[in-house]
Amino acid sequence: MRTIIPVVVSVEADKITVQNGVHKGMKVTETESFHIKSKDVNLKTYTVNRFTEITINGHQMKLSDVEPGMQVRVTQTTDPTVAARIVAKVDPSVLMPVNP
């Protein structure tokens, strides 16, 4: 069994939508994960403002740098619809090499 990792579904100018899985914290097997239907998936949309802290692989970034499919953890403010912190992670092996 594995725990479903939240991932970015979509990014807009001031919003991010995250898929948390069928139930937050639920564990599923590989075969079960193929049977998850869109209507059953827990989606949460957060508003992003100028105070939202955004990092990708530990580096300070902008919301426009966050892409669908990235693993993400969102911490909300006292308003559960507003993101205080977005911590995204991308596998370094999929990053494009930068030529000096």
In the chain, the percentage of residues whose pLDDT exceeds 90 is 57
Q: What is the largest CA-CA distance in the chain?
A: 46
Asked whether residue 84 is domain-assigned, the answer is yes
Measured CA to CA, the distance from residue 71 to residue 42 in angstroms comes to 15
The domain tally of the chain equals 1
pLDDT, one tens digit per residue, over 43-78 is 999 999 999 999 999 999 999 999 999 999 999 999
Asked whether residue 59 is domain-assigned, the answer is yes
Asked whether residue 70 is domain-assigned, the answer is yes
Asked whether residue 97 is domain-assigned, the answer is no
Model pTM? Answer: 0.72
* Owning domain of residue 8: 2-91
